[in-house]
Structures are given as structure tokens and as C-alpha cells.
Amino acid sequence: MPPFGVLAIVLGLKMPDTPIAKLKVRRQKLADLMPVNSAALILSAQQMHRNSDVEHKFRQNSSFWYLTGFNEPDSALLIIKTEKETVNYIFARPKEKEKEIWTGYRSGPAGAAEIGGIEQSFLFSELKPQLEKLLGGLQHIYFDFGSENYISLGIEILDLVRQKRIYQITSTQNLLGELRLFKDDWEIAQIKVATQIAAKAHNLAREACKAGEYEYYLEGLMEGFFRQNNCNWAYPSIVAAGQNATILHYTNNNGILKDQELILIDAGCEYNYYAADITRTFPVNGKFTTAQKEIYDLVLKAELAAIEQSKIKNATFDQIHEKAVWILSNGLKDLKLLTGSFDEILEEKKYRKFYMHRTGHWLGLDVHDIGAYQESDGKSKVLKPGMLMTIEPGLYFDPENSSINEAFRGIGIRIEDDILITEIGCENLTELAIK
């Protein structure tokens, strides 16, 4: 088995910079979607305080990163589109030797402009006075107010926008969602690193798993592997043994692994801010009980069928879910876990008692990536090459559900892969993770 440390060495330990040409294309595409006489203002993430003198690890705002490739807090991107031209402005912290000694290198406005290939640069402290000057005569601004970042600055910006009589204020989410839905070749290369390292981490956990071990041990093993390969977790890992797996967002990870029980691990890393999202469920001792095997085989069948569905040209997002629901419902009926006719089970959504979430979500810079799930006419999104989604059916049986056979109570199983839609069907980016 080749060690994955090799991969990190091949890739180099430094995150690759986003090519400036890609950043320019993204900003141009965003501007193309904006009406004439409009502005888009995207703030960076803020450095979040944790406790006493400790700060949270900085993680850039995904959309800001997508458009600028700039990885510092207290920054902003402003795009102004008029009839005459479109101009990009970046705002960044000043270079200050004293501060850099304590908290690290700062690029300064000129450095930020160079990284992003952006024409104009200013200090972040200049943002309001520059907006005062630059927003005059515009009719529309795209701005995300209400995120946890820069609340008081956001209020001041809204005040300024009102003073400028710009009455159309829209979130950037729809425009950027439409762009971020389609991954370019460079993004796919980053995602493939994340998915391979995450898949390998799952296999390591499977090898190390044994009765008497604790959930946190496997969590640490996987997250340690993420860091060893220049990745961070993309979301807090779920390592859920036995009936903990029936809690969908379980993150305590302090339970003990028991013989004859299953373990569900939903963990993924991000590389260069691109996320992987994988779930695997397997028996602690390597051998399924009859009931566990019946449910596992059913979930796997639903997952494989949903992946097949994604290969069909112009399949919709909803069709993936419907396929999984159809197979799970059929199987639950056969196992006598659901009663009534098949039509009844579907119409009355009886399956929801055991399958209460959707079959997938968009994946990218955010693990639940932005991007609409409907076309503009309200119909389910048609899957096109370059889109990336998870496919993750599961079944969960409440340990206290006395209406089902005891053998099924407390079983929680989910299987999740990351599926890239391609010209010829799809590519499963996480098939390296044993299932």
C-alpha cells in the first residue's frame, strides 16, 4: 500500500496559488451577470476570536477566495460595472512590520492586487470613503449583509447605500452560486487531492477499527492524516459507533466501539479550500449481523443506483433523490419495516421515518456548496458537466422504536461518495474509499 505522504511531497507543501487567469475569468463572468450601473461588494472572512488571547484558525470566505485568491482577513473586493467599463478594486490591511512580527506576513494592498490580478487597490480602512466616491450614480448593489462577519461595518455600508439612493440591494448568492456550480479543470485538480486524501483516511480508520477503541481515536487518526497531507477538516468529523449513528449530526465522538455494532464515519478534508465529503459504515469486528447486512445492502443498492442515474444525460438533481427513495422504499417494504402499498409509501412519504434527509448536495469550496437546486422556471436543476455533488442515501432506525423488529433498532447506515458530472456520464472521485 503506497503511503500517501508521497502525494503531499509531489504536490509540494505550499498550497498552489489560484492562477490569475482563472480569477480574471471568474470576475468577468460575475460582471457579465450584473446589470449596467451596478456594484458587487464581497467582504473577506473576519479573524474570529476564540477565548482570551486565542483566535480561531483563519478560514477565508469561499466566494471572496474564489474571486481573489487572497487569503487575509480585513479585505474586500468591489466590482463596479458602468456602461463604459468594469473596474475591480481590492482592499487589504496595511503592511505593518510590528504586527507582522506577531501575527504573520501581510501582503498589503499592492500585494493583494498582484495576487488577484486586480487593477486598483486600497487600504481596507479606505473602504467606506471609497464607496462614498464610487457608488454615485449606480442603481444596484450586490452585497451579503447579515453573515456573522463585519456586522457593524455591514450596517454602515447599508446606510451609505441608502444615502446614495441605491434601492436595489441583492445578495451575491444567486450570481455566485450559478458560477461556483461549475468547476473548472484547476478546481477539479484541487478537489481530487482532497477526495483522495479523505478516501485514504477512511481506509486507515477501517484498518484501525476494533472493539474497545474509542470514536475519538479514529477521529484523531483521520484528522491527523488530513494535516499530515496539508489538508484541514472540511467540517467536524462524525465518528458514530452503534446507535450514535442514528443521530444525524453527532459530533461528540466520545463513545466506545463495541463488538457486533456498526460504525458510521462521515469525515472529509479540504485542500486549498476545496472540500471532500465521504461517509462509510462498516462492522466494528468486520462481520455484519443479518439485520445489519440487509440494511447495508439496501443502502448500497440505493447509492449505486443513484450514481447510475447521475450518468444519464440531463438527469435532474431531484431524479437522483427519487431513485434512492424508490429503492429504499421498495427494500423497506420487502423487509416488512414499512407497511402499505408501494404507492402509499411514496405518496405519504412513509420512508421518511427511516430516511429523513435528501440524497445529496452540491460540493465545492463549501461542503454544502452554494448554487440553486432549481432552474429559473422552478424545475429541478439539470445536471451538467463540471457540477459536483454528493450522493449519500442512508437509513436510520430509532433505538427506541418498539414498532420494528428489535434486530433493526439502533442501526444507522449512510454511504456517501463525491460525484463529478462529466461529458460522458460521471466520475466517482471517492471510490478509493472501500465500501
Q: Which member of 261, 277, 366, 369 binds Mn ion (CB under 5 A)?
A: 277
Sheet strand arrangement including 76-81: 120-123, 86-92, 76-81, 38-43, 140-143, 168-170
Of the pair 81, 414, the CB lying nearest Mn ion is at 414
Look-up of cell digits 482532497 = 194
Amino acid at 421: I
Q: Which member of 71, 244, 390, 430 binds Mn ion (CB under 5 A)?
A: 390
The runs of H, that is alpha helices, within 135-236 are: 151-163, 173-180, 185-208, 215-228
Cα(76)–Cα(126) distance, rounded to whole angstroms? 11
Of the pair 78, 276, the CB lying nearest Mn ion is at 276
Cα(360)–Cα(422) distance, rounded to whole angstroms? 17
Of 219, 303, 416, 417, the catalytic one is 416
Strand bridging mode 120-123 / 86-92: parallel
Cα(223)–Cα(231) distance, rounded to whole angstroms? 9
Whole-number minimum distance, CB 390 to Mn ion, in Å?
4
Helix (H) or strand (E) holding 55: strand 54-55
Side-chain-side CA neighbours of residue 35 (13 Å): 10
Quick check: 330 binds Mn ion (CB under 5 A)? no
Q: Which stretch binds Mn ion (CB under 5 A): 62-70, 274-282, 306-314, 420-428?
A: 274-282
Of the pair 79, 419, the CB lying nearest Mn ion is at 419
Catalytic residue status for 249: yes
Of the pair 115, 429, the CB lying nearest Mn ion is at 429
Q: Which stretch binds Mn ion (CB under 5 A): 51-59, 146-154, 270-278, 420-428?
A: 270-278
Whole-number minimum distance, CB 303 to Mn ion, in Å?
12
Q: Which stretch binds Mn ion (CB under 5 A): 54-62, 154-162, 224-232, 383-391?
A: 383-391
Of 83, 85, 98, 249, the catalytic one is 249
Of 144, 215, 261, 392, the catalytic one is 392
- 125 φ/ψ angles, rounded to the nearest 5 degrees: -65, -15
Candidates 228, 231, 209; CA nearest to 219 is 209
Of 53, 98, 377, 423, the catalytic one is 53
- 355 φ/ψ angles, rounded to the nearest 5 degrees: -135, 90
Cα(100)–Cα(176) distance, rounded to whole angstroms? 33
Q: Are 219 and 257 in contact (CB under 8 A)?
A: no
Whole-number minimum distance, CB 416 to Mn ion, in Å?
5
Of the pair 34, 299, the CB lying nearest Mn ion is at 299
Of the pair 349, 368, the CB lying nearest Mn ion is at 368
Catalytic residue status for 140: no
Catalytic residue status for 343: no
Q: Which DSSP category does 360 fall into?
A: -
Catalytic residue status for 368: yes
Catalytic residue status for 369: no
Which residues belong to the active site?
53, 249, 266, 277, 357, 361, 368, 392, 396, 414, 416
Which residues of this protein are in contact with Mn ion, per CB under 5 A? 277, 390
